Amino acid sequence: MKFRKNTCIFLVSLLYWACTESGIDAEERNPSVKGYFFITPNVHQLSDSLDERITKEGVRTRITSGGRYSLVAYSDSVDVEPVLFVDSIECCETGCSGHREGNRFLFEFSCELNEPAHAILHLKDVGGNFLDYSFYNVSLVGVGDYSDHLSLNLIVAGAFDSTADGKSVDSLARAIGQSIHNYFDIQVDTVYISYAYEHPSVGYMFTKDSVMYVGSSRIIDSLSEPWGESGKDGAFDIVLVDYIDSVRAGYAYRFFYQSSLNLDVSVVAFRGSDGLARGSKTIQNVSVHEIGHVLGLSHTTLTMKELLAWGDYSVYEDGLEDTPYCQKYVDKYKDSLKLKGLGKRCFDIEDPLDWALLDSTYKTDSLVVLWTGCPDYFNIMYPYEGGEYDYLESSPMQREIFKKNLTLIPH
């Protein structure tokens, strides 16, 4: 996420090649993207790209043991009854039949696994052949057997002394736990405090009280390795660093996108670009926002950078009925995408010019004054988060997604 004053933007770290044959407008929103799209359990975003791929190369998701899932899809032109195949794990390998009510299809499945796994979902005929008709409004619902409350492990990986308003690491840890409880209405059992240099297997990579600048390094990811303590190993990690880069105040891996299936970690920078410590309220708000991403929550309004990275221009808000989104910013970046000519070329992860384009959106977005007039400005999952706000908002549907996905993640 990006700060509204000295602020930063969240961007999912996985990028794909994305192409589209025409301009980005309401009637032409389905790019041809090389690579799998991910479907998140329990969210309400509807994607043209998921609809297109569910009967072709499939869509990817994260499956956990004990999870009970329902894939929902609609079709008005079914001539052969579809079945669900779940590839890469021993679940629905020979196809799971669905239930049909009119044009609505429901496919229920669960998988017995020793550990979480990525899986690819396909709708095919009973013989495993591709279908020659399409579906729309594809979504995935899931609930698991894991606890609906959590513990936190606040890991200090930088030269943290105190916040701008004088909070120690102990006081800050308690405040973060209380904020997560307040925003998502869940019980926080324990908040542990750890120091990166004391990690039993990767601590040698960190130095006590040294300034931690993350940049493009993946060194922080190593802190998701076990600590050898049952409480900490079952907790969600929040890593405090001095700086991430010149723009971002925090980042996290949405749980269905993680390349490592056990990477439930949020990273928060406790200093601004001026080198000064941020206030405790800002750090709390960033921490809550990032763990919201870990549990599958999207930004209320997606940024242009997210559209470019994901290659799916049909999703520009979180899809929740009880959270507004910033229509005027969406209109602005749709116009900007057309002006940049992206409707006639590919976004290539290997092309430095495309990376320069993505980088320029940081600078462009940071100057968009109209963000402050957005109706979702005070929602905790607003993409440009920050400031010493005593209270931001979360909606009932956001809290429901958080709780359901919490039961799907081992902790």
Q: Which helix (H) or strand (E) holds 357?
A: helix 352-366
Per the CB < 8 A criterion, the answer to whether 263 and 253 are in contact is yes
pLDDT at residue 29, as a whole number: 35
At residue 247, the pLDDT reads 76
Give the whole-angstrom CA distance, residue 359 versus residue 214: 17
Q: Which residue has the higher pLDDT, 32 or 375?
A: 375
Q: Tell me what the mean pLDDT of segment 169-175 comes to.
A: 97
Q: What pLDDT does residue 102 have?
A: 93
Q: Give, rounded to a whole angstrom, the gap between the first and last alpha carbons of the chain.
A: 25
Instruction: Report the share of the chain in percent with pLDDT over 90.
Output: 45
Domains and CATH numbers, the chain: 48-144 (2.60.40), 149-298+394-408 (3.40.390.10)
Q: Which of 94-103, 121-130, 209-218 is predicted least confidently?
A: 209-218
pLDDT for 224: 85
Higher pLDDT, 93 or 244: 244
Band of residue 181 on the pLDDT scale cut at 50, 70, 90:
very high
Q: Does the structure show a pLDDT above 80 at 86?
A: yes
User: For 31-147, where are the E strands, in sequence order?
Assistant: 32-34, 37-38, 59-63, 68-74, 83-87, 91-97, 99-101, 104-110, 117-124, 136-143
Mean pLDDT throughout 216-230?
Answer: 85
The pairing of strands 68-74 and 136-143 is antiparallel
Q: Pick from 35-49, 175-189, 234-248, 371-385 the range whose average pLDDT is largest.
A: 175-189
> Quick check: 138 pLDDT over 90?
yes
Helix axes 280-294, 169-184, angle to 10 degrees: 50
pLDDT-based confidence at 12, cuts 50/70/90?
very low
Question: pLDDT tens for residues 369-401?
Answer: 345 678 898 899 998 756 678 878 999 999 999
Write down the pLDDT at residue 326.
87
172, pLDDT greater than 80: yes
> Average pLDDT in the 325-342 region?
72
Chain segment 287-312, per-residue pLDDT in tens = 999 999 999 999 998 887 787 777 77
Q: Give dist(CA 62, CA 120) in Å, integer.
A: 9
What is residue 64's predicted lDDT score, i.e. its pLDDT? 85
Q: Using CA atoms in the order 230, 232, 234, 238, what is the torsion angle rounded to 10 degrees?
A: -170
Q: What percent of the chain has pLDDT over 70?
A: 79
Q: What angle do CA 108, 113, 116 make, to 5 degrees?
A: 95
Q: Is-contact 252 291, C-beta < 8 A?
A: yes
**If you write DSSP's letter for every residue of 203-260 in order, what string do you get?**
GGG--TT---B-TT--GGGGGGS--S-HHHHTSEEEEEESBS-SSBSEEE--TTT-SS
Helix (H, G, I), strand (E, B) or coil at 271: strand
Higher pLDDT, 59 or 367: 59
